[in-house]
Homo-oligomer: A and B are copies of this chain.
Amino acid sequence: MTDVLRQPLDGVRVVDLTRVLAGPFASMLLADMGAEVIKIEPPGGDPVRQQGTLIDGFSAYFASFNRNKKSVVLDLRSEEGKERLGQLIASADVLVENFRPGVLAKMGFGPERLDALNPRLVVGSVTGYGADGPYADRPAFDFITQAMSGFMAVTGEADGDPMRTGLPITDLVGGLYCAFGIVNALRARDLNGTGQHVDAAMMSGIMSFMAYLASEQLATGQHPPRSGNDHPLVAPYGLFAARDGQVAVAPSNDAVLRKFLTVLGLGHVMEDARFDTNAKRIARRAELRQLIETQMCATPQAEWIDRLNAAGVPSGRVQTLEEALDDPQARAQEMVIEVEHPGHGPVRMLGYPVKLSATPCRTRRPAPELGGDTEEVLGGLDKA
């Protein structure tokens, strides 16, 4: 069936002016769904081509953020380059960019010009802080938006510093929201006949993930406490020592907690006057931990994880990134795929996070060589 059904974005042409991370992630999400993404690169190429570990001059980082795209080299400082870009935009459905607000206009492609070139164009921007507001002109960087957004304030030990995460979370959230906005704007175009501008800001995106922490802050004025790997409002919760490693357990309510304690042979604890409410359990968190670890310490981690999950208690362990990438479930979900790059051999990279049963994401082509599609794409314009 897959061969005869069209992918969701089949027939959608995307002109992609993005560099580095947030923007290329957005355009890759579109490419993975079947869009024709034309990555416009300056003569020197996207800087990411030179970043990360290079194997025979080839960047696995670049490969993993640019699969399913074409590459066209244009010097956008030259008149010819700008003319070609104008032609491409006229032929496209979507333009994606992650310049700072205003830069595209300075290059000669402000909103009026874009509208004149192509009134049906959807323009997607990933920005650090949004298209307007007092920080609109600030240069953006993931670490800074992690700091500004409140993300770091709710991450880390209770008595430690606010903590960033090592992954560029705000870039990726911004990129995913941009792709989501673009596909929605394409649907709006189907309804209304016209394109529009989609702006996804890294800071707004990560703030939208503050979820109940924000609800509570806004309702009560109380800061959510930083609490390391403990839950500030629930006990027991966290990492518990088994014979050969820690077991992560998160009983989300009393029913699940009862199952947890029962599996450990501690079912009576729920009736113990020292532990029969969550408030008491929080007050006696250390004592409760000791009871639990006394039961757990003789049996291997893997056995507890199996037994707890079988009983309906969410449980697992802290895996290194290497373990996660090689995890049986990650393998079953094909979260690591191998893409053959002619001239470079196979490159392993992250797979497709959302599974569509009839029109799945698939690898139609590896990340392009710099300018590898210039002739085909620009030649097509001349014929049009």
Contact = CB atoms under 8 A, between A and B. Distances in A.
Contact of A356 (B153, B167, B171, B196): B196
A216 B350 contact: no
A133 B332 contact: yes
Tallying the copies of this chain within the complex gives: 2
A333 interface: yes
A199 interface: yes
Given A129-B329, A161-B229, A322-B223, A192 B359 contact: yes
A353 interface: yes
Given A181-B354, A188-B8, A215-B61, A204 B328 contact: no
A177 interface: yes
Contacts of A8: 184-185, 187-188, 191
A214 interface: yes
Contact of A207 (B33, B141, B335): B335
B6 A191 contact: yes
A169 B211 CA distance: 9
A188 B6 contact: yes
A210 B350 contact: yes
Contacts of A241: none
A248 B147 contact: yes
Interface stretch (A77-85, A285-293, A309-317): A309-317
A297 interface: no
Given A144-B250, A178-B354, A192-B5, A209 B172 contact: yes
A220 B54 CA distance: 10
B356 A184 contact: yes
29 contacts: A9-B184, A10-B191, A52-B219, A60-B219, A64-B212, A64-B214, A65-B211, A133-B329, A139-B256, A147-B316, A147-B318, A148-B317, A150-B323, A151-B165, A151-B167, A154-B321, A161-B229, A163-B228, A166-B226, A167-B213, A169-B169, A172-B208, A173-B176, A181-B354, A198-B357, A203-B329, A204-B335, A214-B349, A215-B349
A319 B146 CA distance: 9
A324 interface: yes
Contacts of A154: 165-167, 321
Given A167-B211, A187-B9, A355 B153 contact: no
A55 interface: yes
A158 to B, nearest CB: 11
A178 to B, nearest CB: 7
A119 to B, nearest CB: 11
Q: Which of A65, A144, A178, A179 is packed against the most chain B CB atoms within 10 Å?
A: A144
A42 interface: no
A242 B226 CA distance: 24
Given A188-B359, A217-B325, A177 B143 contact: no
Contacts of A138: 309, 314-316
A136 B330 CA distance: 11
